[in-house]
Structure 1
Amino acid sequence: MSLRTTRLNKAREAAFRLRGGLWTLLFIVVLVVAEPVARGTAALGLLIVALGQGIRFWAAGSITLYRGEKVRAAKLVTWGPYALARNPLYIGNGLIGAGWGLMAGGKALLMFAAGFLIIYCLLIIPWEEAFLQGKFGTEYEEYRANTGRFFTLRPPSGRIRGPFVPSILWESERHSLLVTAAGTAL
């Protein structure tokens, strides 16, 4: 393994561990550059935020183990929103941030999008995917081959239904819900 790969993996691991703080940093950037927008634009942004949080709820309730700051998984989740995309929690985050950006003006939306792509697409998601590949091997390879990172062109039949655990949803999403509500109110 090259020194560059080692540094990149350390950056990815740190980004995963610090993803809550990085999310807060993205929100602060949106808040700092915010400009007034038309009511219709703000209303659309609010709807997008609500959609994003709804996707997060569905995804978090489909995970049978709360993750916390360490990347871990008891089993490979391939049902619910994970049958449609490998990263529904981050799709939810992206929609929440895009909604905030829309409510805060074009500059905020652009800055959020750039930060989100770097933090999530280049750092966090590859770190999680490497973990899942190492833990689940062939099962993950098959899942990855049939399920897009952010969307699937041919949704699978029969994999949408699966376990949904409200207690995990509440444990993992209460903080996210409070942050989303507070951020949206600001």
Structure 2
Amino acid sequence: MTAVNDIRAAAFKLRGGLWTALFLGVFFLAEPVSAGAVTAGLLLVSLGQGVRFWAAGCITRYRGEQVGAERLVTWGPYALVRNPLYIGNGLIGAGWGLLAGWKALLLFAIAFLVIYGLLIIPWEEAFLRQKFGREYERYMERTGRLFPRRWNGEDLDGPFDLSILWKSERHSVFVTLAGTVLLLFRAL
């Protein structure tokens, strides 16, 4: 394993702590913002959590210190992009950045792209490519990593387990709500 892969594996394992560090960076840079920024920030946070709900309901397992996948999920938001959970995180973080001011938003954007775009996502993709082979490569050809590439209107329908949301997303919801409330107090 190369040094880069060691760093990627550690980033994946510590992604919850890295998310907390991102929030703390945003929080400590927070300054009062306009009512419009608060409104836009709250909308982005809500949209981000909604995307996370949709994505989490389509997969059976995603919390853990090791990358894992029982099957290749290509329906729901995964028909549009390969990493909808991280898009949800990005929207939440961008919303937090709007609640905290432009310096915090800039810090979040740069750190998020480095942590997720250069470390965590490539680590997951290497695992998925190894496990699912050509099936994953075809999936990569038709979907973007974080932005939709092209979509033919198919594949949105697929298994969705509402019970997963409470099991898997309650921690994310709590963190998102707590972070948002703390930033609202700083923003006003």
Same fold (TM over 0.5): yes
1:148 counterpart (123, 137, 144) = 144
What is residue 177 of structure 1 aligned with on the other side?
Answer: 173
Is contact 2:26-2:108 (8 Å) kept? yes
What is residue 34 of structure 1 aligned with on the other side?
Answer: 30
Task: Give unpaired runs (5+ residues) of structure 1.
Answer: none
Question: Aligned-pair distance for 1:96?
Answer: 0.2
Provide TM-score, normalisation by structure 1. 0.95
Is contact 2:142-2:149 (8 Å) kept? no
Amino acid in structure 1 at the alignment position of 2:21: L
Question: Aligned-pair distance for 1:169?
Answer: 1.9
Question: Aligned-pair distance for 1:66?
Answer: 3.9
Is contact 1:66-1:168 (8 Å) kept? no
1:118 counterpart (104, 114, 125) = 114
Equivalent-residue separation in structure 2 for 1:161 and 1:142 (angstroms): 19
Is contact 1:83-1:155 (8 Å) kept? yes
What is residue 134 of structure 1 aligned with on the other side?
Answer: 130
2:66 counterpart (70, 76, 79) = 70
Equivalent-residue separation in structure 1 for 2:136 and 2:29 (angstroms): 40
**Secondary structure, counterpart of 1:62 in structure 2:** coil
Task: Give unpaired runs (5+ residues) of structure 2.
Answer: 183-188
* Residues 20-29 or 67-76, more deviating: 67-76
Q: List aligned pairs for 1:157-176, cutoff 5 A.
A: 157-176=153-172
Question: Aligned-pair distance for 1:150?
Answer: 1.3
Provide TM-score, normalisation by structure 2. 0.94
Equivalent-residue separation in structure 1 for 2:83 and 2:29 (angstroms): 28
1:58 equivalent to 2:68? Answer no
Percent identity, please.
67
Equivalent-residue separation in structure 1 for 2:143 and 2:84 (angstroms): 11
Give the total of aligned pairs: 182
Pairwise CA RMSD: 1.0
Equivalent-residue separation in structure 2 for 1:44 and 1:175 (angstroms): 24
Equivalent-residue separation in structure 2 for 1:7 and 1:60 (angstroms): 31
Equivalent-residue separation in structure 2 for 1:117 and 1:18 (angstroms): 16
